[in-house]
């Protein structure tokens, strides 16, 4: 197979689009030194990590997005993540080891804090929207993390924007999933912990990869030796492989989520048509293979008869092309008076 050479005009066109991201050597050195210094994992770093973990965990427990965002303002995880990205494109083994070490220690600290706080949290803490949203990751969260990594690196690299914004953007992708893991394990819910772990790992890989892309198009100087260049290419290749591997389970989860949402919409349409005066409070679908179990809660002025439930089950089975077992909870509506 003959490999065609890329025309010079095409190369110039590509460079024209990425040239606005180019920064001079002096700024590159300053950014490198700043990231390396802040990624060391010193006393200040871990004080901020500890208190951000406490605030974010408590924010998840009370289901307050404002508190969670406040904790993200403190979280310093942006620095070791960007250090990891720089180590990948510059082929610096020492920086790679230091950034991975800081990330691992930070993760363990946040996990332990959320685990301990989980013991004093009520069971309903695992049902808040802030918590639940981080236990069922989809491919869309991966896209968000890719954008977060690129923007985070951009904000740090270009001095006109405050570095605090980068910290919030990257922390949003990493810290809450870790705290959700700790809370889930403390309550013995390993399924939720597994979902949060997938979200954390996929976000970490996506943020690292997209930050590396920003550093590449900003023309950060790579290794000068041929061996170093090969190492850089290998690092980028492995980062891309890990990203693709993590995208596979997220695609499967997304497919299942879309399927379940479509089933819920079908159920709601049928119930609205069958009982137009009823108000649907909740619909939960559990596909058990040959049978679909459905938990439905509705508000209605009358109690449903056995014949009505059987008829509803038949209609649902025909539409969903599977045997359906509906479990319906009716919350009675009592009218105290009729208006004129």
Digit-coded pLDDT (tens) for 285-330: 887 777 888 888 888 777 777 787 788 888 888 887 878 888 888 7
Res. 21 pLDDT band, cuts 50 70 90 = low
107 close to 206: Cβ distance less than 8 angstroms = no
Listed by start position, the domains of the chain span 8-222, 261-332
- CATH architecture assigned to 8-222: Up-down Bundle (1.20)
Average pLDDT in the chain: 83
Res. 159 pLDDT band, cuts 50 70 90 = low
Q: How would you class 101 by CB atoms within 10 Å of its CB: exposed for 0-12, middle for 13-18, buried for 19 or more?
A: middle
Strand partners, 297: 282, 329
Decide if 8-222 and 261-332 have a common fold.
Answer: no
Q: Tell me the percentage of the chain whose pLDDT exceeds 90.
A: 26
Average pLDDT over residues 157-167: 68
- CATH architecture assigned to 261-332: 2-Layer Sandwich (3.30)
Question: C-alpha angle 207/210/214, rounded to 5°?
Answer: 130
Strand partners, 117: none
Neighbours of 124 (CB within 10 A): 10
> For residue 12, what pLDDT is reported?
52
pTM score of the predicted model: 0.80
9 φ, ψ to 5°?
Answer: -65, -40
3-class state of residue 296 by DSSP? strand
Average pLDDT over residues 234-238: 84
Res. 1 pLDDT band, cuts 50 70 90 = very low
Residues 121, 183: Cα–Cα separation, whole Å: 8
Element (H, E) at 327: strand 323-332
Residues 139, 112: Cα–Cα separation, whole Å: 28
pLDDT tens digit string along 81-127?
999 999 888 878 888 889 999 999 999 999 999 999 988 888 777 88
């Amino acid at each position: 197979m003959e490999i065609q050479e890329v025309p010079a005009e095409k190369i110039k066109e590509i460079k024209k689009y990425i040239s606005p991201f180019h920064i001079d050597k002096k700024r590159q050195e300053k950014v490198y030194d700043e990231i390396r210094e802040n990624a060391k994992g010193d006393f200040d770093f871990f004080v901020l990590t500890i208190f951000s973990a406490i605030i974010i965990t408590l924010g998840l427990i009370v289901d307050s997005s404002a508190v969670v965002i406040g904790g993200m303002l403190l979280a310093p995880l942006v620095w070791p993540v960007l250090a990891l990205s720089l180590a990948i494109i510059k082929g610096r083994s020492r920086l790679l080891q230091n950034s991975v070490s800081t990330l691992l220690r930070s993760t363990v600290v946040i996990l332990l804090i959320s685990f301990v706080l989980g013991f004093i949290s009520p069971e309903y803490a695992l049902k808040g929207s802030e918590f639940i949203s981080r236990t069922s990751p989809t491919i869309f969260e991966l896209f968000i993390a890719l954008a977060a990594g690129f923007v985070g690196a951009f904000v740090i690299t270009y001095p006109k924007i405050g570095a605090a914004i980068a910290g919030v953007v990257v922390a949003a992708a990493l810290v809450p999933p870790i705290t959700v893991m700790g809370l889930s394990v403390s309550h013995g819910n390993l399924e939720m912990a597994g979902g949060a772990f997938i979200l954390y790992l996929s976000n970490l890989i996506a943020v690292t990869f997209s930050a590396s892309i920003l550093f590449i198009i900003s023309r950060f100087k790579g290794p000068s030796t041929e061996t170093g260049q090969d190492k850089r290419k290998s690092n980028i290749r492995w980062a891309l492989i890990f990203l693709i591997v993590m995208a596979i389970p997220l695609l499967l989860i997304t497919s299942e989520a879309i399927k379940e949402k479509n089933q819920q919409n079908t159920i709601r349409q049928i119930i609205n048509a069958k009982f137009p005066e009823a108000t649907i409070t909740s619909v939960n679908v559990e596909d058990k293979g040959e049978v679909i179990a459905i938990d439905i809660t509705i508000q209605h002025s009358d109690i449903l008869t056995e014949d009505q439930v059987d008829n509803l089950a038949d209609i649902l089975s025909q539409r969903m092309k599977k045997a359906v077992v509906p479990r319906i909870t009716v919350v009675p509506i009592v009218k105290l008076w009729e208006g004129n």
